[in-house]
Amino acid sequence: MKRRNFLKKAAVAGIVTSSMGISMTANASTSSNRKQFKLKYAPHLGMFKNHAGDDPIDNIKFIHDQGFRAIFDNGLMRKEPALQEKIANELAKRNMDLGPFVLYADFKVKSFVTQNPEIKSMLKDLMKQGLDVAKRTGAKTALVVPGRFTDDLEWDYQTANVIDNLRMCCDIVEPSGLKIVLEPLNAWTNHPGLFLTKIPQAHMICKAVNSSSCKIVNDLYHQQITEGNLIPNIDMAWDSIAAFHTGDNPGRKEPGTGEINYKNIFKHIFDKGYDGVLCCEHGKSIEGKKGEKALIKAYRKADKF
């Protein structure tokens, strides 16, 4: 009888231990999913729509729960002020950063390359609006694309005009600490006809503007198409870079779907002490919830260095 009781108790204990093991494994899995990433990869609001729905606050909560430490929202400036403040409060509560919002990016207009008084007036007004958005949200960076080039003016004169217009813009935003980040975009796949296409070109303009508020957002997808040589260009323009965009090439999807070795690039950026935001400005290679999970997994893999 004693032996039977012993065996019975042992069997029960085994079941309990096994159940605890399953429970602990499940908890570990959940916990590892929430472990913070080494770098501040920033999904955009709506990137996890199948998991989090359309509400921006629910999106922030979900993004945070996956271990991400930042978000970005290109359309932040178009949102109602009350919603901007609500987003900022939620990010502050979770100690999350906000990537660059789009301040000016008109791909159809010859703007910064001119001395057009109406363009200058428009840019001044936009800078002031951008300051209001930054005050409400705590945003530290605002993205600017200098528009199209023109065929009726020497290239160096156009460059001089871009520098002059950027100095004017920086004079408005610099006292607040807001940084304008210039984005070079590729002409071969996505944006033919734009003035700013390369990192060395953007770095030279930043040096000429000579303002702490004139920096670069290095979109690694665009630069892989335009010039490659990603890590050396990061190093040579390092003092001018204030943000990154990610996305693999070809296809502009999550890391690991193309030719860019993001694991090496992320390690290099991390080793240089970068503490800014890397906006996940790309699509997903798979539809639905499965694709959203694959995206998170891709960043986990690339962050494992």
HSE-CB at 209 with a 13 A cutoff on CA atoms is 30
pLDDT per position as a tens digit, 224-249: 999 999 999 999 999 999 999 999 99
User: Whole-angstrom Cα distance, residue 58 to residue 64?
Assistant: 10
Angle between helix axes 117-137 and 155-173 (nearest 10 degrees) is 40
Please report which confidence band the pLDDT of residue 90 belongs to, taking 50, 70 and 90 as the band edges: very high
Residues 202 and 234 in one domain: yes
Residues 16 and 149 in one domain: no
Residues 298 and 182 in one domain: yes
Strands, sheet with 214-219, edge to edge from the N-terminal-most edge strand? 40-42, 277-280, 241-246, 214-219, 179-182, 141-145, 101-105
- List C-alpha distances in Å: 298 to 93, 181, 231, 261: 27, 27, 20, 12
Contact criterion met (CB below 8 Å) for 187 and 197: yes
Domain that holds residue 21: 1-34
Higher pLDDT, 139 or 5: 139
Residues 13 and 150 in one domain: no
pLDDT at residue 290 in the model = 98
Residues 210 and 90 in one domain: yes
Residue 134 in this model has a pLDDT that exceeds 80: yes
Residues in a beta bridge with 278 = 41, 244
Residues 159 and 13 in one domain: no
Would you say the pTM of this structure is higher than 0.95? no
Residues 5 and 128 in one domain: no
pLDDT per position as a tens digit, 144-162: 999 999 999 999 999 999 9
pLDDT per position as a tens digit, 7-62: 344 444 443 334 434 333 333 333 346 799 999 999 999 999 999 999 999 999 99
Q: What is the CATH number of the domain that holds 137?
A: 3.20.20.150
Average pLDDT over residues 108-117: 98
User: Whole-angstrom Cα distance, residue 254 to residue 297?
Assistant: 10
* Cβ atoms within 10 Å of 130's Cβ, excluding its own: 25
Least confident of 29-43, 85-99, 268-282: 29-43
Q: By percentage, how much of the chain surpasses pLDDT 90?
A: 89
Residues 4 and 119 in one domain: no
Residues 150 and 228 in one domain: yes
Sheet strands (E) in 112-160: 141-145
pLDDT at residue 47 in the model = 98
pLDDT at residue 219 in the model = 99
Residues 233 and 152 in one domain: yes
User: Whole-angstrom Cα distance, residue 181 to residue 96?
Assistant: 20
pLDDT at residue 33 in the model = 64
Q: Tokens in use for 77? A: 């400036």
Residues 226 and 172 in one domain: yes
What 8-state DSSP symbol labels residue 240?
Answer: G
User: Whole-angstrom Cα distance, residue 262 to residue 285?
Assistant: 16
Task: Count up the domains in the chain and report the number.
Answer: 2
Mean pLDDT of the chain: 92
Residues 42 and 4 in one domain: no
Residue 251 in this model has a pLDDT that exceeds 90: yes
